[in-house]
């Protein structure tokens, strides 16, 4: 099966064209895609026409589909969620569900309805963010852990703070490549373990800003039929909130991950 993989930025992101994801993937095709995923961290498959069941089947080729702890799935399709208008949670730079003990490794979005302009999503390489810190700060950060906690939506759904709180290393080693990456984000990281929020705030705010520097980013403008998958162990993402209500609808699937190390 002939297809092309085209790098989109120095740090992160590639387009994949010429593949029909509604059909099973040959092992050789999957191996090439897996290698590209580890290299580029974000892959966008263009011109996909998938039913919800086919979307879930493609996701299942990469791992076990996870069900969000407090965001409802589409009826009849456990693990498939609707993502609509930009929300403050999605506008903030973040990795998905880092308040879980085992955050999802992979996330996938399939564009069902998009505006002609606006509603772009950006990704930023957290490997590049870590690599460009000073050696002294790198060494210090590798000795720190941070507390992550779910948003107000968790409480509204009846979950206790304990159920949506986890402690993770500030520098995460990728589970396949062992490459280090920053692993704190403004949505879920509350403070460093053993420190107060006030004590933690200056360094965390520096890291949040550093993690999203322009040279680490790729910005994607959506088309209907785009399926984008990304590695939550490698990148953070953010949506641009410049669209009118109801113009944007995507379907999201996440895959189970492992305890960050």
CA distance 192 to 172: 14
Active site residue 226: no
Active site residue 252: yes
Query: How does DSSP assign 53-119, residue by residue?
Result: HHHHHHHHTTSPEE--SSSPPBTTBTTEEEE-S--HHHHS-B-TTTTSSS--SEEEEEEEE--SS--
DSSP class of residue 167 equals: E
Instruction: Tally Cβ neighbours within 10 Å of residue 155.
Output: 14
Active-site residue (options: 40, 96, 99, 226): 96
Active-site residue (options: 41, 94, 105, 217): 94
Token pair 């992550």 is at which residue? 148
Contact 145, 183 (CB under 8 A): no
Active-site residue (options: 40, 41, 55, 237): 237
Active site residue 221: no
User: Which residues are annotated as catalytic?
Assistant: 94, 96, 237, 252
């Amino acid at each position: 099966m002939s297809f092309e993989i085209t790098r989109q930025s120095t740090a992160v992101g590639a387009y994949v064209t010429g593949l029909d994801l509604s059909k099973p993937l040959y092992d050789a095709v999957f191996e090439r895609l897996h290698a590209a995923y580890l290299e580029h961290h974000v892959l966008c498959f263009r011109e996909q026409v998938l039913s919800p069941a086919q979307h879930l089947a493609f996701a299942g080729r990469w791992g076990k589909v996870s069900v969000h702890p407090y965001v409802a799935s589409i009826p009849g399709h456990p693990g498939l969620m609707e993502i609509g208008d930009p929300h403050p949670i999605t506008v903030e730079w973040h990795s998905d569900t880092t308040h879980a003990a085992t955050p999802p490794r992979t996330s996938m979005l399939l564009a069902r309805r998009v505006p002609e302009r606006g509603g772009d999503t950006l990704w930023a390489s957290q490997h590049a963010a870590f690599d460009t810190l000073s050696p002294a700060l790198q060494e210090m950060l590798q000795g720190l852990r941070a507390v992550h906690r779910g948003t107000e939506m968790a409480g509204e759904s009846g979950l206790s703070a304990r159920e949506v709180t986890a402690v993770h290393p500030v520098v995460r080693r990728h589970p396949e490549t062992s490459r280090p990456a920053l692993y704190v984000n403004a949505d879920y990281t509350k403070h460093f373990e053993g420190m107060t929020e006030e004590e933690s705030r200056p360094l965390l705010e520096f890291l949040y800003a550093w993690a999203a520097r322009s040279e680490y980013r790729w910005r994607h403008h959506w088309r209907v039929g785009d399926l984008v998958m990304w590695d939550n162990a490698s990148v953070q993402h953010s949506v641009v909130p410049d669209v009118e209500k109801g113009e944007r609808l995507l379907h999201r699937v996440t895959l189970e991950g492992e305890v960050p190390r």
